[in-house]
Structure 1
């Protein structure tokens, strides 16, 4: 056979989930969020900003540097394995806990699996251009075309659960593990220990609260998982809040949601409440009275909430995958690794901002989006905002967009976030860190990336991703006073029930309802579609960097991104002005004529 038929020396890596498989290689050098990035029912890559957009991962060996974005990626992975649209194998440059956990849960609950292999960045870069690969345990071989050697992969069924002997366990840990506290707690402890072993933990720690992201309905497998736990008598051992679910549980019928989604999505929320979780249904648990404090050890899932808890509150949590969150809530124990430890919270990348003019609220989500992509899995320390005094809403918007493009669970802003009020506190002594000096033109490029809509028309204004805060309601009420939306434009806000009642009591909701706002609780824009988005709608508008990224794939429509004031103006006129914010306009004059 002419040309290269097989790599001379198979690559060796670290097997995160054992198994063997082969297939056509689907390679990208950009991380991929499975939630919002991969259709759980077909395997199509729907992240319209990703180089693999439109490709189908089903049956192919998917090679990506890591996951990124949403913690719900584990649920999407489990769903794909359950319905037969998963990749044949997953090859990573660096270990990814979210995607790996999805495979482990599918293996434990459904007896179906796929191999996950981590080969390191240098070897990963060498895969570019390969056509066909075979994964066998810790080994990977590359081929120029599908080999004709008749090789068949062994049955990828469930493996016996082996408890890592090197992890220190308490008497209660052993009692949970031997089934003394029921089958649900036993399975949960097995999964916690399996992940602790993969993460390299030597011990577990006690946590004070949990926030569960696995209550998002991604398909039948997500409901089956929760209902199985309920049947096994699952009860949380620590105070536990619930993330947004996939529908407004009280009003989904009124909103015209198809019962095929509304019934199981509502049932999924009920299943987690049956385990003892609180009825919170918000992607912004940091807005609740139960928000953790500086140094508190917690277990939160939902990517924006994790980043906010670590960065803005100074609490300590990993970016926990869906299903590992409930397993830890059922045991009260988490692996003592990563951002739970002070040494793992230090800055790994320095970023200096350019001189900036007067900022509006579109700056922070745009900056978070850009820095997240730049940082990758590294924890950044940002200089240049010491005098800007960003609000908590600004930091919420920054963190949500940062979590969309980054795999890191934490950021520091010098002089702003609690652990970096003195930047020296998050810098290792005598350690030189890589540094990036941002140019305004780079932010202009990201602005254009988020503004995917090409026509000025606006049909839907999307607000509340993450969920609206009380102060955002107050600001929007001021912007909408004595005005009314265009009759052909839908303006909708997603928020938590608790914040909605606070805003109503303060008198903000009456004015917004006169303006014509639609209010949706319990769910979030990442789960909303038709008919909340009218079928005839062609373009959306948002002030959320997170939704500007995910919206084109999730809603199937391009998006205008701008400030809250611009969103209100467009809700009134039905048109996007296309104006750049004043602080970004100098970047246009710096461009070469060919790019203007």
Structure 2
């Protein structure tokens, strides 16, 4: 919209939130309106067959038809005195706009009231495009300040060291300005896509306002906290008002599973099982919340569940899942008539082949999508056994600042460095750019189901996937295994 290349209108026949939010922000903050229409299916189909259409005086006109249009009515949203005060501008322009947008989106989402949230996590801090920077600096200039504890996602640079890492100065400066804008607005400079690894993680039934899909899914599923999967920019509005639409999985009735996925657990599986299971669960339940059963006799670690949730978010739009026996709400009774599907060994074999190219040599080992935990880093150091990585294979772990500090205090950072491993804070594999991502690398290997899914599209490189142990072996040898892992081999 700001580049004057937006369409005259965007038309939907069903609920839509991302583009709708973008259009609202473009109009309210940047005075660049784009019409968003949500029409009944019948009218939508008639419009799709029309040669021309126009919007005039709040009316959609096409094919001799005139369809009256109306804006979402925020007066239908139950508001407290403090909400009305914010809308009136008593707390400044930034808060006024934020509350207006929150109430408008609540009406779009068919919510009837707002809910208090105790903390926020902001995801729109990666310099994917200049719009992210323009938005953040505009909100800062309007006086936006967080009113609840707010953390920040991974960013596009190692904030303290990018100038020595060969990044293009223009990019590094813009990425730093973007991160700094959120810090100036009161957010903590955590710069991590795994905020649940911080010391003060949310607790069960705590109502929070997070974005970043893996964090949202982990919070809802494993911690038992409550948050919608909020879109970028909306997360800041929540952070400066402490309010969110009371809808979706904030409500208990919307947290029940819509399908049961019964897992046939292969014998002798390794940690690669969990991200693969997450990807498969999402593929079989792309919209609704599933419950995974059949895992009652296994013992996943927090890292296993982290990998499961992150990979689930690549193939499903659902904000959570349940695991019978292992997540807080996984013990609840499964609703009657819930659809049942199985996840079998052949599903894992097929996914393994999808995740893995035919390449054997490995130029880059990529760990930390989402950010690696202390236990993952420690385990990786143990697997290297003090040996030095292959000189033609770069090995990089991305971590949050809190984890990096602990790695230094425990000596694990030195062990990794002596093995030739580079540990980088602030950025993650979804935001890493050349030359930190080695220009000459043509094949990467990862233990992340999320990065196995996105890696080729993001980097343009071939991808190999495997367990943390196999990643360590690849780091030392420069080679990935040719064959299926033992737990997926034919009986």
- Say yes or no: does 1:514 pair with 2:418: yes
Please give the alpha-carbon distance, in whole angstroms, between the structure 2 residues aligned to 1:141 and 1:212.
38
TM-score normalised to structure 2 length: 0.93
Q: Give the CA deviation at 1:104.
A: 2.5
3-state DSSP of counterpart to 2:442 = coil
For residue 349 of structure 2, the aligned residue among 440, 444, 454 is: 444
- Say yes or no: does 1:108 pair with 2:28: yes
| Cα distance, 1:93–1:568 mapped onto 2, change above 3 Å | farther
Q: Give the CA deviation at 1:151.
A: 5.3
Partner of 1:540: 444
For residue 352 of structure 1, the aligned residue among 262, 265, 268 is: 262
- Greater CA drift, 253-262 or 170-179: 253-262
For residue 47 of structure 2, the aligned residue among 141, 146, 157 is: 141
Please give the alpha-carbon distance, in whole angstroms, between the structure 1 residues aligned to 2:46 and 2:219.
38
Partner of 1:489: 393
CA deviations 1:295-323 (Å, max 9, x no partner) are: 00000000000000000000000001011
Please give the alpha-carbon distance, in whole angstroms, between the structure 2 residues aligned to 1:93 and 1:438.
33
Please give the alpha-carbon distance, in whole angstroms, between the structure 2 residues aligned to 1:225 and 1:552.
29
For residue 208 of structure 2, the aligned residue among 294, 298, 302 is: 298
Please give the alpha-carbon distance, in whole angstroms, between the structure 2 residues aligned to 1:496 and 1:578.
33
Answer whether contact 1:484 1:515 (CA < 8 A) is retained: yes
3-state DSSP of counterpart to 1:358 = coil
Answer whether contact 1:481 1:511 (CA < 8 A) is retained: no
Deviation >3 Å, runs of 4+: 81-94, 114-120, 138-143, 149-156, 159-163
Partner of 1:458: 362
- Greater CA drift, 462-471 or 530-539: 530-539
Answer whether contact 2:98 2:238 (CA < 8 A) is retained: yes
Please give the alpha-carbon distance, in whole angstroms, between the structure 2 residues aligned to 1:461 and 1:363.
19
- Say yes or no: does 1:393 pair with 2:307: no
- Say yes or no: does 1:501 pair with 2:422: no
Answer whether contact 2:20 2:36 (CA < 8 A) is retained: no
Please give the alpha-carbon distance, in whole angstroms, between the structure 1 residues aligned to 2:71 and 2:125.
25
Please give the alpha-carbon distance, in whole angstroms, between the structure 1 residues aligned to 2:5 and 2:57.
17
| Cα distance, 1:119–1:460 mapped onto 2, change above 3 Å | farther
- Say yes or no: does 1:211 pair with 2:121: yes
Partner of 2:471: 567
CA deviations 1:463-518 (Å, max 9, x no partner) are: 00000101111101100122111111111011101111112211211110011111
Q: Give the CA deviation at 1:119.
A: 6.6
Q: Give the CA deviation at 1:117.
A: 4.2
Answer whether contact 2:275 2:308 (CA < 8 A) is retained: yes
3-state DSSP of counterpart to 2:159 = coil
Answer whether contact 2:389 2:419 (CA < 8 A) is retained: yes
Partner of 1:409: 319
- Say yes or no: does 1:432 pair with 2:337: yes
Answer whether contact 2:154 2:428 (CA < 8 A) is retained: yes
Correspondences of 1:216-235 after superposition (within 5 Å): 216-235=126-145
Q: Give the unaligned 5+ runs of structure 1.
A: 1-80, 124-135, 590-596
For residue 435 of structure 2, the aligned residue among 531, 536, 541 is: 531
Correspondences of 1:30-429 after superposition (within 5 Å): 81-83=1-3, 95-110=15-30, 111-113=32-34, 115=36, 117=38, 141-143=47-49, 163-420=73-330, 422-424=331-333, 427-428=334-335
Answer whether contact 1:470 1:502 (CA < 8 A) is retained: yes
- Say yes or no: does 1:584 pair with 2:485: no
Answer whether contact 2:72 2:107 (CA < 8 A) is retained: no
Q: Give the CA deviation at 1:535.
A: 1.7
3-state DSSP of counterpart to 1:443 = helix
CA deviations 1:444-464 (Å, max 9, x no partner) are: 11222222x332121111100
Please give the alpha-carbon distance, in whole angstroms, between the structure 2 residues aligned to 1:360 and 1:90.
47
Q: Give the CA deviation at 1:423.
A: 3.6
CA deviations 1:98-131 (Å, max 9, x no partner) are: 34323332233331425354777xx9xxxxxxxx
CA deviations 1:219-245 (Å, max 9, x no partner) are: 221111111111111111111111111
Answer whether contact 1:161 1:190 (CA < 8 A) is retained: no
Answer whether contact 1:311 1:410 (CA < 8 A) is retained: yes
3-state DSSP of counterpart to 1:540 = strand
TM-score normalised to structure 1 length: 0.77
Please give the alpha-carbon distance, in whole angstroms, between the structure 2 residues aligned to 1:183 and 1:95.
29
Answer whether contact 1:372 1:406 (CA < 8 A) is retained: yes
Please give the alpha-carbon distance, in whole angstroms, between the structure 1 residues aligned to 2:463 and 2:12.
31
For residue 551 of structure 1, the aligned residue among 442, 455, 465 is: 455
RMSD: 2.3
Please give the alpha-carbon distance, in whole angstroms, between the structure 1 residues aligned to 2:77 and 2:117.
17
